[in-house]
A and B are shown apart, each in its own frame.
Chain A
Amino acid sequence: MNKVIEINHLTKNYGKHRGVSDVSFSVNEGEIFGFLGPNGAGKSTTIRSMLGFIHFESGNIHLLGKNIQTDLQTILKDIGYMPSETMFYPTMKVKDIIQMAADIRQKDCQAEAQMLCERLQIDTGKKISDLSLGNRKKVSIVCAMQHKPRLFIFDEPTSGLDPLMQNEFFKLIQEYVHNGATCMLSTHILPEVKKYCNRVAIMKDGKLQCVTSADDVLIEEPSLEDYFMHFYMN
């Protein structure tokens, strides 16, 4: 099976502060991969290293079979990323933001964007500054999905979304994954992982604790919550 994400011995420190240390894992094509850990565990540092926002000290990262240190721009064309803090240019309208993302990608995403806006019930005529957090999240989903990427990276995607939209969001992910995409989902919400992910990685204090299948977790411990707590209490 093709490896869409391959991280080997990733180490990143912020001066004297710990970032992540010797993190290695891989994600296969067509998986929904859960990335778990409490605040400050190193999930966002790993994701930010994967997307080239920050430079890491050692290790290497391959996404879609390419090294991010040499082919980042090519890789980003096939990635849909949704940050945990979704902020856009406040004076712009929703439709302009969506169009801007498509223009920079040099892709005609109009049909897909329209479908996504309808399903997520987005008013594209509104100004970004007039949107609530939940509505900004929806715009971020459209920007991440409209170009039909091969790899999705979501950082706490459902915080701020109402339950109906959370459901619609996961339906969309499943549809894209069904069509061949891969998804990495960083979250705190264990029921989401339990319900949708094939495998999970658990981070603690900047180190990877384990990578296991969601089914195996449920065999070892009565619930994912117990499994998760087992790592953090020890």
Chain B
Amino acid sequence: MLTIYKNELKTNLKSLLIWVLCVGGMGFACILLFADLADSMKGMAESFASMGAFSDAFGMNQLSIATLSGFYATEIGTIHTLGGAMFAAICSICMLSKEEDGHTSEFLFSLPVSRVQVVTAKWLTITTLILLFNLLCVLFYLTGISMLGEEIALKEFCLYHTLQFVMHLELAAICFTMSACMKKNRFGMGLGVVLFLYAYDLISKITPNLSDYKLLSPFSFANASDIFSTGKSDIAALILGGSILLGCICITLLLYKKRDLAA
């Protein structure tokens, strides 16, 4: 199992670095831009906060983008949330299906390794990659903040990034289950799931009829503007998210154990 884990980690290392450089680098650059934009932001903050549904959707009604915490929650938060979610989806959507797509399943499963061990090793790889992605991005953001010489609400910062990690894991688990059912790599399907759930999250914030169901989206419990403005998360959504995560892994194990492998 350890051999498969190490091999997968090595294979995905380049992709991890590219995503960290893109998402973390973009966040880092945006934080540095805050120094130049701070003055002009003061004027814009009020108008951004009173743009009705748009302000509600992006949380600008709760926080002022003229402060670093507000700017971080609305701008960097969006970049990190979407970038991380896409990375998690791309990593996991082909993690199992690539063995059949690349015709390597016969090589792997002719070795004395069970399907449960393969699923476990691959899920551990995904967890490690997402953890590293989040840690390295946070390192970029903290470097930017320290270069700026500003302070950010540390408790909210830690809570937000912990919940982002859980949210990325939940999205990865959904895509991992899909991967167990597919014989071909379908990156587009993974990205589609992320964008659909993100759009659902935005719509549920501004549509009163959907407000009770917004917890269905993984993005709801790791919302930066909610966390930075209230210092807490939606616990019901977090419990539901955790349950979906665990449920998806169990379903993946059952599905992958039972299915016939393509040649």
Contact = CB atoms under 8 A, between A and B. Distances in A.
Contacts of B107: 83, 86-88, 101, 140, 143
B263 A73 contact: no
A55 B110 contact: no
Contacts of A74: 112
A233 interface: no
A117 to B, nearest CB: 17
A127 to B, nearest CB: 13
A72 B11 CA distance: 28
Interface residues of B, number: 20
Contact of A104 (B103, B104, B111, B260): B111
Main secondary structure of the interface of A (DSSP, over half): mixed
B111 A44 contact: no
Given A44-B263, A55-B258, A77 B112 contact: yes
A33 interface: no
Q: Most chain-B Cβ atoms within 10 A of its Cβ — which of A53, A85, A92? A: A53
B3 A89 contact: no
Interface of A: 14, 44, 48, 51-55, 72-74, 76-77, 79, 81, 83, 85-92, 100-101, 103-105, 140, 143
9 contacts: A48-B263, A52-B109, A54-B261, A73-B114, A76-B112, A85-B103, A103-B3, A104-B3, A143-B107
Interface of B: 3-4, 7, 11, 102-107, 109-114, 258, 260-261, 263
Given A48-B261, A73-B113, 17 more contacts: A51-B110, A53-B260, A53-B263, A54-B261, A72-B114, A74-B112, A76-B110, A76-B111, A85-B263, A87-B102, A87-B106, A89-B7, A90-B102, A103-B3, A104-B112, A104-B113, A143-B107
